[in-house]
Each structure stands twice: as structure tokens, then as C-alpha cells.
Amino acid sequence: MTFTAAVLAARTREFLAAHPPAATDRTDFLRARFDAGLAWVHFPEGLGGLGAPRTLQAAVDSELAAAGAPDNDPRRIGIGLGMAAPTILAYGTEEQKQRFLRPLWTGEEVWCQLFSEPGAGSDLAALGTRAVRDGDTWVVDGQKVWTSSAHTARWAILVARTDPDLPKHQGISYFLCDMTDPGVEVRPLRQITGEAEFNEVFLTGVRIPDAHRLGAVGQGWEVARTTLMNERVSIGGMRIPREGGMIAPLAATWRARPELRTHALHQRLLELWVEAEVSRLTAERLRQELAAGRPGPEGSGLKLTFARLNQEISSLEVELLAEEGLLYEDWTMRRPELVDFTGRDAGYRYLRAKGNSIEGGTSEVLLNIVAERVLGLPAEPRDDKDLPWKDLTR
């Protein structure tokens, strides 16, 4: 069948007639939407999609929004939508896709990402968490860190070392870990904002069925790269309206508080506004390119820009507000389900933006990716790529 925006809009209206949002339970509505192929239209039939071009999702979403239909709270389940789902689709078995994608999309099961470790953050391939096979299960021991949403997650995407005798990129496998299993311990990490939105996770004798391995044994680095590429696009390439994101509260304050304005601040605001708009349009173009295939290293450049702009914009907002910018209404320890950049004080935005150049890949690592894979520059000399992991200095 040939899909067009008109065809999908008509199909969505038919769906709404059969499932009136005002008269349908929210979870039942979301499940029915997934089953109708209107969740993410570019996914295959039976997995929340119709095999249609990704660009036609907008036709579905606009009809649903006009009807006041509930969404799946995408910010709360962003790790599942932006990282776990595309990886499961690319490498999962048919059974894994059927089991995990529907409750992931409806938000009934929240996901987190067990990748970084205390000794393997920027150099993720050096990770030391071990997975040892025991019949049809794997016994996992190790520690993960900076795990957003681990305190609310039911499932995790996990990378662990399954063969220490191979070089570090080759001896890794990828698993789907049940966060409610015995041996999984989640501890909060309080950050500079006073919150604890992320955690450290200790894995002690956690038994993961081999049926929850994603990809072949030893293929974990390849699978993880798919996750990381999608993560960077989901962080830096999220769809926002014009003058949306971090520039929005700064522009609103500028318009509402003329007594704060100076010529120098005006010039900086204009420059950042233009950069934010260029970044927004670049993200739109990247999403259009995604319709033709998987994300490439270009997402790393977009995520780099996202981090730098957020930090510069939040810094200018604090400077504009002067002593008011230092106020921060709530320093109490909280365990939020999601990060709210725009609905909080300027001081919160300034502090929280510091993490943007670390999460989702540090800016230093992303600069290397852009240099090598986008610009084609020679890689820096390394002497550890061919050594067995067990022989590396740690």
C-alpha cells in the first residue's frame, strides 16, 4: 500500500472514531493506537507501525493532538523510546520485539541504560562488568553509574564483558536486564542541583536468561553503537518549536523585563537565538535523513551543539537576571522521574546544563567522533585496541 499524509490522516480519524479519547481509558487508548500501527508509523506492521515513511508520523500526531488524545508522556520514557526501541528493532529476535516494544511505547514499562561504569565512562569499551554463562543464563557482576531513571525503571539495556581474553571492543555482549531481579541494587547519586535523577547500580549475581541477550555473543559493541547513535540524536535532535527549548525562557525574560537589558547582552542574545534556530533546523534535517536509514555520526555533532548552547544560554540568563539569577527555589533531595529544563528557575537551568556536555557521550569523545567519522581526519594513535582486555592497565 502507498502511504501519504492524507491516507494516514484519514486512518487516524477512523481510529479516533472507534476509540474516542474522552471515553477511552488512557492505557487502553495507547495500546489500541500501538496495535493500529499509529505509534511510530515507520516501524513494521504488528510492532506499532505500518512500514510507512517516518516523515508521515506528523500527519498522525496532528490529528491526534487536534482530538485531544493522550500521548505516551515521551519525556518520561525517553530512554526506552530513543535508545532501547530502535536497538531492539535492529537486533532483537521476533519474540523480543513482540514482548518489549508495546509496553515500552505505552509507558507501562520504563527503561534505563546500564552502560557507564566508574572506570569506563568516556572509554565505554573498557567496561569491566562481567557476564559469565551458566547454562541458559548469564550471571552478571559489576557496577554501573550515572544511570538516569534506574529508580523508576523496570528494564535496562546492559552491556557486559563476556570474554576478557579478547580485545576490549570484541569481548562485550548486550543484554536486557530486569531491574526487579534479585541482585540489582539502585543507589541515588545527588547532583549539583540537589536532585538525584540518576543513580549508581550494583549488580551482584544477577541471572539474565540467554533469551534476553540482544545480538550475538561478542556483538555487544556493535549493538551498543546503534544505541549510542540513537541516544545522541534523541538528545540533540529532539523536535522543538521555533524559539523552543532553553532559548524560550531567556527570550521571555528579555521581553518581560526591559529594565534588565543592555546593548552587550542584546547582542549576545541575538547571536544565541540565531544559533539555537540553526541547531533546530539542522535537527529537522537530520530527522528527515533518518527516514532513509539508521542515524550516523552526524548526530554527535548535533549533540555537541546542544550541550554548548544550553550552557551558554543558561549562563546568559543568569547574567541577565543578576542577583535574581542566583535564586533557586528548591535544594531539597528529590527523585524526579524526568528532567524539566524550562519549568524551573534560571539557577536550576544553569546548574543542570553543566551535565549536558557529559551525558550521552562527553563532548571530548564526540569531538573525536566528528573528527574521524565526519571530517575523515586520521585517528589518534592507540596501543590498546588489539590487546586482550585482561592485559589492559586499569
306 backbone φψ class: left, alpha, beta (φ>0; ψ -120 to 50): alpha
The whole-angstrom separation of Cα 117 and Cα 124 is 8
Catalytic residue among 63, 195, 231, 317: 231
Does residue 231 carry a catalytic annotation? yes
The whole-angstrom separation of Cα 262 and Cα 260 is 7
Tell how strand 172-178 and strand 184-189 pair up.
unpaired
The residue type found at 51 is G
Cell numbers at 232, concatenated? 545522541
The whole-angstrom separation of Cα 242 and Cα 189 is 34
Three-class DSSP labels, the chain: CCCCHHHHHHHHHHHHHHCCHHHCCHHHHHHHHHHCCCCCCCCCECCCECCCCHHHHHHHHHHHHHCCCCCCCCCCCHHHHHHHHHHHHHHCCHHHHHHHHHHHHHCCCCEEEECCECCECCCHHHCCCEEEEECCEEEEEEEEEEEECCCCCCEEEEEEECCCCCECCCCEEEEEEECCCCCEEEEEECCCCCECCEEEEEEEEEEEEHHHEECCCCCHHHHHHHHHHHHHHHHHCCCCCCCCCCHHHHHHHHHHCHHHCCHHHHHHHHHHHHHHHHHHHHHHHHHHHHCCCCCCCHHHHHHHHHHHHHHHHHHHHHHHHHHHHHCCCCCCCECCCCCCCCCCCHHHHHHHHHHHHCCCCCHHHHHHHHHHHHCCCCCCCCCCCCCEHHHCCC
Residues with a known catalytic role = 231
